[in-house]
Structure 1
Amino acid sequence: MRKTEIVAIDGGGTKTLLLRVRPDATIALCRKAGGSNPFDVPDWRSVVAGLMADQQANLAAAAFGMAGFGESGRLSRELEETLASLCPAPHSIHNDVDMACRGAFLNRPGILLLSGTGSMAWGVGEDGETARVGGWGSLFGDEGSAYWIGRLALARFSQCLDGRVENESGFVSRFSALHGWPEETVLCSAALQEWYANLDEVRPSVAALALDIGRFAEQGCLVSRDIVTQAAQALARHVHALRHRLNGQILPWSYAGGTMRNPMLREALAKECGAPQAPGLPPIGGAVLVAAELAGWDVGTHFIAQLAASLEAAGLG
């Protein structure tokens, strides 16, 4: 039987997405699961294996954009071994931000700034040279990420509760209402500690707060606005560093990740780095392009346009 479909996976810290795509760039299958970053998810193999179940038949090629790949020799080898066992077809593995950059710029030069659960930037220069900054993890990096924003918000919340900083624009009342906590200081402090003690997965839970902080900022909350501004400044340093490292080229930049859906954050970044270029394809699109090329398909303008339309129709644009 002629093998006529490809598989693409985008594996991040919070979620993992699999697409099976036909030669006409239409989507045959879409599957979603939890995060698969081996630095954060001990059971990442089961996540990927569950997505790849029954995907070997009629498979021409596959491409995997995996968080953590290339960042640890041991984990990268484990990713290679696991994916080889799950996918006997020709396949390619890249860091998830590298894959997102390929999708955003359609394999052309540029800088992709990703802020999701973690943060990192990947750049490709005019001469084809690549470089990356950030992606150091939550212990001493990931500045400007959703987890970083959530952690900073929790710190400011606790400081407001005990009086170390001013409770500006009702930050405590907004944050308390978000969780259904009482506003009275002693009771609220106890509710915060109880919430933390009962978290099953700390990073995703804390990262999820970033969406609400962005919403509070748009509503005029000064504490939230300050947090968003700090995040933008931290993320802008990624872009500046990559432009410097790639021979001082003022490369265009684009974005990916849930944190970047915040218009206030993107506006602040535009003031620091210039207006961003809208991504040509979302991160999973980069993995589709790599798999399609590996399968020998023509990935010209028509294929890319159809793929963009397919992703948009599937709610993945």
Structure 2
Amino acid sequence: MTSRAAVMAIDVGGSGIRGAFQSADARGSADVARTEYELDAAYTHTDLADTITGATTTAITLQPPATTLTAIAISSRGVASLVAQPHALAQQLAHTTGCPVTIVADAVAAHEGCLGGMPGIVSAVGTGCITLGTNTNGSLIRAGGWGPLYDDHGSGFWIGAQALSRAVRFAEEIPTPHAEPHALLHAAEARFGAVDDWPAAIYPHGDGVSRIAAFAATVAELAASGDSAAREIVDEAAEHVAAAIISCARRGAATRVALTGGVARSQVFCDAVERAVLAQAHLLSDPESVQWHRSTGTPLDGALILAHRTAQQTVTTHPGLAWSSSPTRR
């Protein structure tokens, strides 16, 4: 039986681990059939590097018959901060699997999935916020994504934190230049209890950032209903995201633009970002060059595209975002 060349992609996400095989001839086309699978939670370890290693080892056992694996691409949340040496992990996996391996941050795979591998700019707006741009050379251009302590402007956490901050100052009758957040205060009390109870509801659980970020959906709903205080926050968040998009474009990224992530499910937020980008487009050499792209592509789709590039040796690496290694030839 003749063996067919295939590539493998894995996406280690917050809700599970998914993977896919596809013929190497597909070159990342979404129109070519692929074999998808989900890995059981038993393969998830406390250590992210162990999770990635275990998922890869297990996935290979699911390889379709009569195929030869030519490349692997792995997308993972937290890989830059939770894996001590991502490049060393890629080297280890390349050695054990015998084929080239690329490991990327989930934002990179989301970018590729959103744009179908085309150059452009994607803002991933969820709990955090990172904007990545690419040009025709495949180079990665980054804006943001440095975490909640000093960045992630416009993210779900930023929106939730702004809402709570303005609500608590309003409750304490501290004057601010913002619209009075009556509805935000009531919504926050419904979610977290009385203002005095907020610290206990948020801080001791180890997931305070996520808890605050989850409140962003409520803020967006209030904004959509016409609440002026919530709308102010959403508009300010949109201006931050738009500034990151414009930054990537000014540094050479193609101006095909898309939004992804949990916050981007809000139409009022997406509309606000589009308005903000239009308002800031005068900073570009061609203000009319921005083209908005709608896509349902997933990080797994993006990982498959990167797996094909890995096989073709055309994948682009980037410190903190993408690492690639080939097996050592003896």
TM-score range, shorter chain: 0.7 to 0.9
Question: Partner residue of 2:216?
Answer: 210
Residues 48 and 79 of structure 2 are in contact (CA less than 8 Å); yes or no, is this contact kept in structure 1?
no
Residues 89-100 of structure 1 mapped to structure 2, 5 A cutoff: 89-100=99-110
SS in 2 for 1:140: coil
Question: Partner residue of 1:76?
Answer: 86
Aligned: 1:178 with 2:191: yes
1:192 CA displacement: 1.0
Q: Distance in 1 between matches of 2:207 and 2:308?
A: 35
Residues 11-26 of structure 1 mapped to structure 2, 5 A cutoff: 11=12, 14-15=14-15, 17-23=17-23, 24-26=32-34
1:230 CA displacement: 1.0
1:220 CA displacement: 2.4
Question: Partner residue of 1:138?
Answer: 148
Residues 1-317 of structure 1 mapped to structure 2, 5 A cutoff: 2=3, 6-11=7-12, 14-15=14-15, 17-23=17-23, 24-31=32-39, 43-49=47-53, 51-52=55-56, 54-59=58-63, 60=69, 61-67=71-77, 74-77=84-87, 79-80=89-90, 89-164=99-174, 165=176, 167-179=180-192, 181=193, 188-246=194-252, 251-274=255-278, 276-279=292-295, 281-294=297-310
Is the alpha carbon distance of 1:288 and 1:155 closer, same or farther for their aligned partners in structure 2, counting shifts above 3 Å?
same
Residues 213 and 224 of structure 1 are in contact (CA less than 8 Å); yes or no, is this contact kept in structure 2?
yes
Q: Distance in 2 between matches of 1:32 and 1:57?
A: 14
Higher relative contact order (CA closer than 8 Å, sequence separation 6+): 2
Is the alpha carbon distance of 1:207 and 1:31 closer, same or farther for their aligned partners in structure 2, counting shifts above 3 Å?
farther
1:233 CA displacement: 0.4
Q: Give the TM-score normalised by the residue count of structure 1.
A: 0.74
Residues 68 and 76 of structure 1 are in contact (CA less than 8 Å); yes or no, is this contact kept in structure 2?
no
Amino acid at match of 2:171: L
Residues 64 and 94 of structure 1 are in contact (CA less than 8 Å); yes or no, is this contact kept in structure 2?
yes
- How many residues align? The count is 280
Q: Distance in 2 between matches of 1:124 and 1:283?
A: 16
Q: Distance in 1 between matches of 2:7 and 2:165?
A: 45
Question: Partner residue of 2:28?
Answer: none
Residues 77 and 105 of structure 2 are in contact (CA less than 8 Å); yes or no, is this contact kept in structure 1?
yes
Residues 256 and 283 of structure 1 are in contact (CA less than 8 Å); yes or no, is this contact kept in structure 2?
no
Q: Distance in 2 between matches of 1:237 and 1:140?
A: 16
1:31 CA displacement: 4.2
1:62 CA displacement: 2.3
Is the alpha carbon distance of 1:58 and 1:16 closer, same or farther for their aligned partners in structure 2, counting shifts above 3 Å?
closer
- 1:169-212, CA deviations, whole angstroms, 9 ceiling, x for partnerless residues? 42211221234x2xxxxxx1222122024323222222222222
Q: Distance in 1 between matches of 2:89 and 2:212?
A: 26
Residues 48 and 82 of structure 2 are in contact (CA less than 8 Å); yes or no, is this contact kept in structure 1?
no
Consecutive unaligned residues in structure 1, runs of 5 or more: 182-187, 297-317
Amino acid at match of 1:222: S
After superposition, the CA RMSD in angstroms is 3.3
SS in 1 for 2:189: helix
Q: Distance in 2 between matches of 1:159 and 1:83?
A: 52
1:136 CA displacement: 1.5
1:234 CA displacement: 0.4
Q: Distance in 2 between matches of 1:201 and 1:30?
A: 26
Deviates more, 1:216-225 or 1:274-283: 274-283
SS in 2 for 1:151: helix
Q: Give the TM-score normalised by the residue count of structure 2.
A: 0.72
Residues 167 and 182 of structure 2 are in contact (CA less than 8 Å); yes or no, is this contact kept in structure 1?
no
Residues 90 and 102 of structure 2 are in contact (CA less than 8 Å); yes or no, is this contact kept in structure 1?
no
1:238 CA displacement: 0.6
SS in 2 for 1:80: helix
- 1:64-122, CA deviations, whole angstroms, 9 ceiling, x for partnerless residues? 12345568995434653675588665421223222222222222221111112221111
Residues 107 and 130 of structure 2 are in contact (CA less than 8 Å); yes or no, is this contact kept in structure 1?
yes
1:263 CA displacement: 0.6
Residues 74 and 103 of structure 2 are in contact (CA less than 8 Å); yes or no, is this contact kept in structure 1?
yes
